[in-house]
Chain A
Amino acid sequence: MTFNALIVFALGYVLALFVIAFIAERRAAKGHSNWLTSPWIYTLSLSIYCTAWTFYGAVGYAARSGLEFVTIYLGPSLVMVGWWWVLRRLVRIGRAQRITSIADLVSSRFGKSTQLGMIVTVISVIAATPYIALQLQSVTLSFAVFAQSEGVSWDQPDFTATAMWVAVGLAVFTIIFGTRNLDANERHHGVVIAIAVEAVVKLLALIAVGVFVVWGIAGGPGEMLTRIDQSEMVLWNGNSGRWISLIFLSGAAFLCLPRMFQVLVVENADERHLHIASWAFPLYLFLISLFVVPIAVIGLDLLPAGSNPDLFVLTVPLSEGRGGLAVLSFLGGFSSATSMVIVATIALATMVSNHIVVPIWLSFQVNQQVVMSGDVRSVILMSRRLSVAGILALGFLYYRMSGGGTALAAIGLISFTGAVQILPAMIGGIFWRGATGVGAAAGLLTGLVIWMWTLFLPSFGTDAFISQTLMDEGMFGWSWLRPQALFWVEGLDPLVHGILWSMLLNSAMFIFCSLVTFPAPLERLQGAQFVNVFDHSNAAPAWTGAATGAEDLLIMSQRILGSTEAQAIFEQEAVRQGKAGHLPDVTPEFVERLERDLAGSVGAATAHAMMEQMIGGSSVSVEDLIAVADEAAQILEYSNRLESKSQEQERTARALRAANDKLTALSIQKDAFLSQISHELRTPMTSIRSFSDILRDGEMAENDHGRYAGIIHDEAVRLTRLLDDLLDLSVLENGQVELHKQTGRLSELLDRAVRAAGLHDGVLAISRDGATEDLVLTTDLDRLAQVFINLISNARKYCDADAPHLQISVIKDGERYAIDFIDNGSGIAAENQELIFEKFSRVADGSKAGGAGLGLAICREVMHRLGGEISYVPRKEGAAFRVHLPKVKSAVALEET
């Protein structure tokens, strides 16, 4: 293929990319963005990490340092497989806070600070410029290779002109697709699709060259491995410091490079894409680097000594006469360079416009009254376009200045080190609430200075910025300030030395200054939101009072977003608030949301500053933060109270259930009592009625007449007794009984009871012990006698012994006296012992005894009222009742009174 054909081919490729990007933008604008936002596109877009420097340079790196080249890919692989640690958090924060760039992330985290945004932007631009120059050099060199294959040897002006045209072309593409609109969420579908296509092209190109080398030249994997073993190439250089540092550096740069942040976080449409990308992107890196060693080995074998190993990917196919493969490989390199430059310039232009141009422009806008719709927007867009051009121009100038020599090749890693200075502020900001803006600024500036001194300035070559004397003797002749031996640490690899000191001192300053300073309220608020991004906690509103009208806010929003988009947002909010008109109420929530929308376009710091101008500085104060914390505490307390209340209700419910059970049982008991009592009343009534019927009819003998009348009388007496008992019991149970206290001797009381019990038939023999009965009692003696009578007559009625005998004895039980009534009958069965004191409980046959079964129940109530008790004492033989007397003073004491 001729050189001119190659140029046409490259232009055709670029045109195809334009078309693809254009179609993607159109589809996204129409809302058909399904496949545009798939996890595979996301994964492929991450491949801008693999720039032309890695596409061409990896082989050269391998040829020079062996396996060390792979460290550049190992770091990102580790970061990706460890996505749960950092990436997931970054993406979530990016979405929650509408982050537009890494500078915006740092600025937003530390209180939407304009200064921090500027610092990060400056670091990023300085670090990226050489890297962009490197891409221009790669493309230029690859063109030169084709020119040389035609026998045309390029001079310096040819290189320069090519680099310039490449830069111009890239600027045009980037401006068209990267800065066409000012999105509320800052995504670039066209660009993302274009770089995804380029990712496929560069992967295919490298694999094609690799397959050709392994199978076409070496003759298979086995032979390839043998050739690797035989090669002169040193695979392992044993430099462990570089191995560790470079894995760390590449992993950190993967997070901190503005272009990587752009595709990882800003362009991320869905957090779930990380699931696929977490393994698919390491796979991509694996495939990209799989054939690097074989290509390097074969290149060293085939090509004459002294040929540039950085271009083996091109020169190996060319030397084998595979022009087509070389063109594919050229396209791969071209893709790598262009996609990186496009995304890097977009990311940097966003940062420059949002964090440098707009804040400065706003500070010059003294008269805020003279504003027009979209003026900020046009300033931003214009500044972005100029920034794109400016950044590419910087890269081009750097390329010119450095002369495009081999010095440039070494600068890739130095550029990485510069970008990585943002790492402590970023990681500290998202994991540590105590990180402060002062600390971040101190760390960033320290890192920047050390990086410049130890790596960046020396990279221009001796005597360009730093003279040999300075290198040897240090600044001001202080030997501890030598650029490659800070603090007298000598003998380290310069790169490892630079990484080590810049990261150490950067982190140390960041941590120390964070510890000793106090953050502003907004900073604390943002810190809490960033660190606790997964807690779904309600953030404190950053705006308390909103002393402005909706019209003013609309005018300001129109300045940034343009009238159509701004009005759409306001109408949406009006609908949300349920208002009929176009203008919503200015609530703190709305102001918050609007600020976030604006931040998606101009960055958090600018959006906040503009909002502050409108609303008059009524932003969040320490008191507000404390109030919010109090509110949270109150809510917590309230919920705790609710919880305890519900526990209390549960307890009450349990008590109620228990009470209900008791009531049910009582109701059953009452029914049983009623049916029992009706039965007891019915029996005598029945006989009274029947005998009185007979009497009324007459016609009977005289003695029958008398007998029937006698029966009626007995039954009436029994009925009366039953009713008396019932009345007595009810009086006792209701506690309405009146006690008539008297004082008397126990022996006399017992005499009276024995007499009253009706023992005149002489059936029951009673034995007593007069001596122990000599006690004086003060209580209701009549009632107590009633109990004794009941017990004695029970013994008479129920004692089934042949010679019934009742033993009445007084015993002293502690301080109290008890009287036992023990007969010699068969006693009461164990299962009935519990029941005998219940109403209507009759153990024996009722007809025999003729009682209603209320006697013992009355006894128990009486004893209860008197303050004593009655109980049944289980014994081997005979029934034994024990009556505990109420507590009495000793007889002696009583006599003294």
Chain B
Amino acid sequence: MTGPSKTPVFLQRASYRQRRLRDGAKLVPFLGIILWLIPLAWQNEGAGERVGSWGVLYVFGVWVLLIVLAAALSSRLRSDASISDQGTSEE
């Protein structure tokens, strides 16, 4: 059952943009995971500088970044998932 695929290989500019926005939205959590794993490298023991308020600022700063990114992406994403993708069973 190898019929011709329903989804076109090349898309209009707008649909193309939507797809890339979707890709971006999918990547946001991974960005968050990576940035929030950085504290694992912080040294607290020994002579090294103790984790102070900058540590708090870092964790909360990443948070703000993720919120802004998610807001920017989700407001541009069309709600109708079926626009051009279908078939997108899963992209």
Contact = CB atoms under 8 A, between A and B. Distances in A.
Nearest to B45: A238
Contacts of A808: none
Interface in A259-314: 271-272, 274-276, 278-280, 282-283, 286, 290, 293
A228 B74 contact: no
A286 B60 contact: yes
B67 A84 contact: no
Contacts of A77: 32, 63, 66
Interface in A50-78: 66-67, 70, 74, 77-78
B4 A643 contact: yes
A265 B64 CA distance: 26
Interface string B50-69: 11110111011001101111
B89 A532 contact: yes
A535 B82 CA distance: 9
A718 interface: no
Interface stretch (A240-248, A514-522, A865-873): A240-248
B70 A278 contact: yes
B89 A534 contact: yes
Contacts of B87: 535
Contacts of B75: 275
B79 A247 contact: no
B53 A228 contact: yes
Given A235-B52, A282-B66, A534-B90, A243 B79 contact: no
B15 interface: no
Interface string B30-43: 10110011011011
Describe A's contact surface by its main secondary structure.
helix
Interface in A797-851: none
B28 to A, nearest CB: 5
A229 to B, nearest CB: 4
Contacts, number: 120
A228 B64 contact: no
A279 B60 contact: no
Contact of A236 (B1, B26, B42, B77): B42
A279 B44 contact: no
Contacts of B52: 228-229, 235
B74 A278 contact: yes
A85 interface: yes
Contacts of A67: 39, 51, 55-56, 59
A550 interface: no
A235 B30 CA distance: 25
A639 B36 CA distance: 51
Nearest to B58: A67
B70 A282 contact: yes
Interface string A208-234: 000000000000000001101100001
Contact of B86 (A229, A535, A633): A535
Given A225-B53, A235-B51, A84 B42 contact: no
A765 to B, nearest CB: 75
A535 to B, nearest CB: 5
A361 B69 CA distance: 51
A597 to B, nearest CB: 25
B25 to A, nearest CB: 5
B2 to A, nearest CB: 9
A81 B86 contact: no
Nearest to B79: A272
Contacts of B70: 80-81, 278-279, 282
Interface in A519-549: 532, 534-536
Interface residues of A, number: 50
B68 to A, nearest CB: 8
B12 to A, nearest CB: 20
B4 A293 contact: no
A82 interface: yes
Contact of B89 (A83, A271, A274, A535): A535
A235 B51 CA distance: 6
A16 interface: no
Given A228-B52, A238-B44, A243-B40, A279 B71 contact: yes
B1 A633 contact: yes
B45 A82 contact: no
A84 B26 contact: yes
A82 B29 contact: yes
A228 B28 contact: no
B25 A78 contact: no
A640 interface: yes
Contact of B55 (A236, A283, A290, A639): A236
A264 B37 CA distance: 27
A633 B1 CA distance: 7
A286 B56 contact: no
Nearest to A71: B36
A283 B55 CA distance: 19
B44 A234 contact: yes
B29 A81 contact: yes
A286 B40 CA distance: 21
A534 B77 CA distance: 17
A286 B56 CA distance: 12
Contacts of B56: 67, 228, 235, 293
B6 to A, nearest CB: 10
Contacts of B8: none
Given A84-B26, A236-B39, A237-B44, A534 B86 contact: yes
Most chain B C-beta atoms within 10 Å of own C-beta, residue among A77, A78, A82, A272: A82
Contacts of A237: 44
B25 A84 contact: yes
A887 interface: no
Nearest to A227: B53
B39 to A, nearest CB: 7
Contacts of A672: none
B64 A236 contact: no
A640 B44 contact: no
A705 interface: no
Contacts of A236: 39, 42, 44, 51, 55
Contact of B36 (A74, A274, A636, A640): A74
Contacts of A286: 60, 63-64, 67
A27 interface: no
B67 A282 contact: yes
Given A243-B39, A243-B40, A235 B55 contact: yes
Interface string A25-69: 000000000000000000000000000000000000000001100
A783 interface: no
A211 B68 CA distance: 23
A283 B39 CA distance: 21
A400 interface: no
B32 A81 contact: yes
Contacts of B88: 534
Contacts of A633: 1
Contact of A283 (B36, B67, B89): B67
Contacts of B81: 88, 534
A88 B79 CA distance: 10
B77 A275 contact: yes
A95 to B, nearest CB: 13
Nearest to B28: A81
Nearest to A533: B89
A236 B42 CA distance: 8
Nearest to B26: A84
B69 to A, nearest CB: 7
A536 B29 contact: no
A533 to B, nearest CB: 9
CB-CB nearest 3 A-B residue pairs = A82-B29, A236-B51, A279-B70
10 contacts: A66-B51, A67-B59, A77-B32, A81-B32, A83-B25, A229-B53, A235-B55, A236-B55, A238-B44, A534-B86
Interface of B: 1, 3-4, 22, 25-26, 28-30, 32-33, 36-37, 39-40, 42-45, 50-53, 55-57, 59-60, 63-64, 66-71, 74-75, 77, 79, 81-82, 86-90
Given A81-B67, A236-B39, 4 more contacts: A77-B66, A229-B52, A293-B56, A535-B87
